[in-house]
Amino acid sequence: MRKAEWTRAAAARWDITTPSRPGRLPGVGMAGFRDRSTDLLDLQVVPYPAVTVVVDFGDGLLLDEASRRQQRGSAVLGLAPGSVRVRGRDIECLQIRLSPVVAHAVLGASLETGGTVVALDVLWGRDAMRTQERLRDATSWEDRFAIAEAALARRQEASRAVDPEVGYAWQQMVISRGQTRVEPLATEIGWSRKRLWARFRSQIGLTPKRAAQLIRFDHAAHRLAAGHNAALVAAESGYVDQSHLHREAMAFAGVTPTAVAAAPWLAVDDVAWAASDQARWASSARVPGASGA
């Protein structure tokens, strides 16, 4: 009961709005956030297997503690931003979660791990400024969702998609919750391990091994947040033992599994991203060269 009460209290701080209908872009999730509290927010970001675009309408600040960089306004968080914190008062923002398969096209770059925070206008130029102005002028969250989706669709249509082999590799990692081995996956695709490693890293932003570790950690983090004990989570998530889970939690989030379980960032997931389960982040790719049914 204490866990449930804590989760409700953490989530109750936020007014959360989600799109009223499914979007037309696979691998994209959106949610609007407004902080109800007048207290200073100081929130660590728990890594998630998606690239996150944040469009700030309030007084929020993204702080990359690893590089000591600060970013206001609209920003892009790369995969596994374990050293990033959100600070500020009266925060109101639009968050867009992009599968890295989609992010490669709509952002025009792969963002590697390590707390990477990049201003959106660095990636989109003047288009970012025009989109942000339209989003700020919008009178409803539904209008904001529509504007954002249209901007993403334009970028995706005008950009080059990831290799089908890379999209399929990502899909299999998501489906297996990070427990797919790279060597058999390369063989199934028809590539060498070296080629898969190089193409995957250049287009997704992480090596296949690191991406699988991130997906596995995300699954474990949500199991921990749901109240399951660390030993059980470690066994079910494919870790060698509880110490292995502890090391991964420290590596990705900089905190212990106990602290991950109590992370306020995870408390809103069931509300904000209920429609964005693992299947949503997987592409619909088949094994390249395989014929359809």
Are 29 and 78 spatial neighbours (Cβ–Cβ below 8 Å)? no
pLDDT tens-digit readout, 133-185: 999 999 999 999 999 999 999 999 888 889 999 999 999 999 999 999 999 99
Where, residue-wise, is CATH 1.10.10.60 in the chain?
164-281
Structure confidence at residue 88 (pLDDT): 86
Query: Residue 42 has which token pair?
Result: 């100081």
pLDDT tens-digit readout, 42-68: 888 888 899 999 998 987 777 776 667
Where, residue-wise, is CATH 2.60.120.10 in the chain?
9-158
Q: Is the pLDDT of residue 121 over 60?
A: yes
Structure confidence at residue 114 (pLDDT): 46
Residue type (1 letter), 189: I
Query: Residue 242 has which token pair?
Result: 């509880």
| Residues in a beta bridge with 71 | 62
pTM over 0.85: yes
Question: What is the Cα–Cα distance from 65 to 226, expressed in whole angstroms?
Answer: 28
Q: Is the pLDDT of residue 10 over 70?
A: no
pLDDT tens-digit readout, 278-291: 445 555 566 666 54
Structure confidence at residue 81 (pLDDT): 59
Judging by beta carbons within 10 Å of its beta carbon (0-12, 13-18, 19+), is residue 177 exposed, middle or buried?
Answer: middle
Judging by beta carbons within 10 Å of its beta carbon (0-12, 13-18, 19+), is residue 55 exposed, middle or buried?
Answer: buried
Structure confidence at residue 287 (pLDDT): 67
Q: What percent of the chain has pLDDT over 90?
A: 48
Q: Report the CATH fold assignment for 9-158.
A: Jelly Rolls (2.60.120)
CATH architecture type of domain 164-281: Orthogonal Bundle (1.10)
Which one-letter DSSP state was computed for residue 110? -
The average pLDDT across 203-214 equals: 92
